[in-house]
């Protein structure tokens, strides 16, 4: 199937985890009991549960085009009209508080002629939106294929391979969008399967670990299945390098979940944990690794603010986070891209690492994530003016994406219509640095 065409295959495992954690942090809110999970046999999926109505819920659910692109592109091997249609449908669903599933049902590829590229042989992905308006969702698809008839149910772009075909179906319980000519048929067959899904033991482990919390969003990766359909990428490609960078090279499968837990002395806590099945252990042996817990240091409520849908305190281990991000980004490069990244990183750190370390030292031992903002209390001896100057100098390396005005500024993280992170420094009795995601 168009074997001569190549598409840049993203490091699915690493990008899936990395982007999903952003989504889990941005889109979380109080939810109702979840419907059934995706069909057994799925290679990977992301589920975001519906939100309760209300202005705060809607405001916190505007992640911007950049976050939506991150959510979808982890499963789509190339940027095409099909991926744009998926981004628009998922974005509409999230903004309107609908339950949405993005499920990778089938994928197979072979190494291409260029380093980091691959020939896609099979691809099948389905987006299921529950509770959305079919006319609006259809219009979202239509904007990616403006030449298609108004009543079309299948969409394709000239010159692109068949696996980039989009098919839609408005069913009584949900709106379905499939990428791949056989995606909806595969979804129907998979839904009738009776086998126990690979993630059943992960769900049980997380249910026990997060007892009393309501699931908000989940991510599952069947690493063994991805090894079978694209073994070269695990053996010597980016999937394997990213897995090593994440200390997950031995993973059989992984489920990450965000869940909201009521708290008597503040907004609900957002718990994030991963259930991990290692190949070194017998099948069904799952370990749970907490990522964000329910701890709530004294004084945290003052930084969370009023009316937020949820809030959680996290350790302020910024040096470790910086090293992890650099290690992950390097692992996702190929060939000369690794050498180029290492050279650019070395130059950047020679110029800016002292300033960055000074910033890290100026913060307190924990920070608060509250809805769509991150609040970092400053250390008692920190100089807010110095913190603002150091932050502005570092963000200035992003070029015209960054702006600064005294104790505040912004950085654009998407295109011209993407998301913007605004930062402000409070210079008073409880000084802090706040990052606010806006659309």
118 vs 109: CA distance, rounded Å: 6
206 pLDDT more than 60: yes
80 vs 88: CA distance, rounded Å: 13
163 pLDDT more than 80: yes
Q: Are 294 and 271 in contact (CB under 8 A)?
A: yes
Say which residue, 138 or 79, is predicted with more confidence.
138
75 vs 66: CA distance, rounded Å: 15
Say which residue, 228 or 152, is predicted with more confidence.
152
> pTM (2 decimals)?
0.78
Q: What pLDDT sits at residue 213? A: 92
16 vs 219: CA distance, rounded Å: 8
Q: Taking the CB of residue 299, how many other CB atoms lie within 10 A of it?
A: 13
86 vs 104: CA distance, rounded Å: 12
Q: Are 186 and 106 in contact (CB under 8 A)?
A: yes
The half-sphere exposure of 256 on its side-chain side, counting CA atoms within 13 A, is 22
pLDDT tens sequence across 361-391:
999 999 999 888 899 999 999 999 999 999 9
What average pLDDT score do residues 256-275 get?
89
Least confident range of 91-95, 116-120, 277-281, 392-396? 116-120
Q: Are 331 and 241 in contact (CB under 8 A)?
A: yes
pLDDT tens sequence across 16-53:
343 444 444 333 333 333 445 788 889 889 898 887 65
Q: What pLDDT sits at residue 61? A: 39
Say which residue, 28 or 252, is predicted with more confidence.
252
List, in sequence order, every beta strand (DSSP E) within 360-431: 366-370, 373-377, 402-405, 408-412, 420-426
């Amino acid at each position: 199937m168009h074997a001569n065409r190549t598409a840049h295959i993203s490091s699915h495992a690493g990008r899936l985890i990395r982007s999903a954690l952003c989504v889990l942090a941005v889109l979380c809110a109080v939810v109702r009991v979840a419907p059934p999970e995706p069909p057994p046999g799925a290679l990977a999926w992301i589920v975001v549960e519906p939100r309760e109505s209300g202005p705060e819920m809607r405001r916190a659910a505007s992640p911007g085009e950049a976050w939506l692109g991150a959510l979808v592109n982890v499963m789509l091997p190339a940027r095409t009209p099909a991926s744009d249609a998926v981004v628009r449908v998922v974005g509409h669903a999230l903004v309107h508080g609908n339950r949405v599933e993005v499920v990778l049902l089938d994928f197979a590829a072979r190494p291409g002629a260029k380093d980091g590229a691959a020939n896609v042989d099979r691809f099948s992905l389905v987006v299921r939106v529950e509770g959305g308006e079919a006319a609006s969702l259809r219009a979202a698809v239509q904007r990616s294929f403006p030449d298609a008839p108004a009543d079309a149910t299948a969409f394709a772009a000239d010159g692109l391979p068949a696996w980039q075909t989009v098919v839609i179906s408005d069913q009584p319980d949900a709106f379905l969008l499939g990428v791949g000519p056989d995606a909806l048929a595969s979804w129907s067959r998979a839904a009738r399967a009776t086998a126990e899904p690979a993630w059943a033991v992960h769900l049980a482990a997380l249910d026990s670990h997060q007892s009393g919390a309501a699931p908000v969003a989940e991510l599952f990766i069947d690493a063994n299945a991805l090894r079978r359909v694209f073994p070269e990428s695990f053996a010597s490609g980016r999937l394997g390098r990213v897995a090593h960078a994440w200390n997950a090279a031995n993973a059989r499968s992984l489920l990450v979940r965000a869940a909201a837990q009521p708290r008597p002395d503040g907004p609900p806590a957002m718990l994030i944990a991963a259930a991990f099945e290692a190949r070194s252990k017998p099948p069904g042996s799952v370990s749970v690794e907490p990522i964000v817990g329910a701890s709530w240091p004294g004084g945290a409520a003052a930084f969370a603010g009023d009316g937020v849908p949820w809030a959680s305190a996290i350790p302020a281990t910024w040096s470790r986070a910086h090293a992890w991000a650099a290690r992950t980004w390097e692992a996702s490069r190929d060939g000369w891209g690794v050498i180029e990244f290492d050279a650019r990183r070395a130059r950047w750190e020679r110029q800016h690492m002292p300033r960055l370390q000074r910033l890290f030292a100026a913060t307190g031992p924990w920070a608060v994530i509250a809805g769509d903002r991150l609040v970092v209390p400053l250390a008692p001896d920190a100089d807010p003016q110095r913190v603002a100057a150091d932050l502005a100098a570092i963000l200035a390396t992003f070029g015209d994406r960054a702006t600064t005005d005294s104790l505040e500024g912004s950085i654009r993280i998407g295109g011209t219509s993407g998301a913007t992170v605004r930062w402000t420094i409070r210079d008073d009795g409880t000084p802090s640095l706040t990052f606010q995601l806006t659309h």
